[in-house]
């Protein structure tokens, strides 16, 4: 059985302080093979997301997956913020 966590918030959500890299490393240390970032992007309210900064963090995490995490985590980009941010 493949262990996974499909509900992880990064430090772009107001309720987390984990960077995407830290979340990947934590997942690996827990023996997880898959994870999914589910950050909050509120349309109404006082949460303001810097989408440019988020895009850069996603690209860094993606680069990390391609260069170092890919052998320890399964990595798929399907129906995610990458499409929304036109990455």
Residue 54 has phi, psi (to 5 degrees) of -65, -45
Domain that holds residue 9: 4-84
pLDDT in tens, 26-68: 888 998 888 888 887 665 666 667 778 888 887 777 766 555 6
Of the chain, the percentage scoring pLDDT greater than 90 comes to: 2
How many domains, the chain?
1
How many alpha carbons fall within 13 Å on the CB side of residue 51?
A: 10
Helix axes 51-64, 20-29, angle to 10 degrees: 40
Question: What distance in Å separates the CA atoms of residue 44 and residue 72, rounded to the nearest whole number?
Answer: 37
């Amino acid at each position: 059985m493949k262990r996974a966590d499909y509900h992880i918030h990064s430090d772009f959500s107001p309720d987390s302080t984990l960077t995407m890299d830290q979340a990947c490393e934590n997942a690996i240390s827990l023996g997880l093979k898959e994870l999914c970032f589910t950050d909050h992007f509120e349309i109404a309210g006082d949460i303001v997301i810097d989408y440019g900064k988020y895009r850069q963090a996603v690209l860094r995490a993606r680069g990390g997956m391609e260069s170092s995490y890919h052998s320890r985590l399964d990595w798929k980009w399907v129906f995610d913020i990458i499409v929304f941010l036109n990455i």
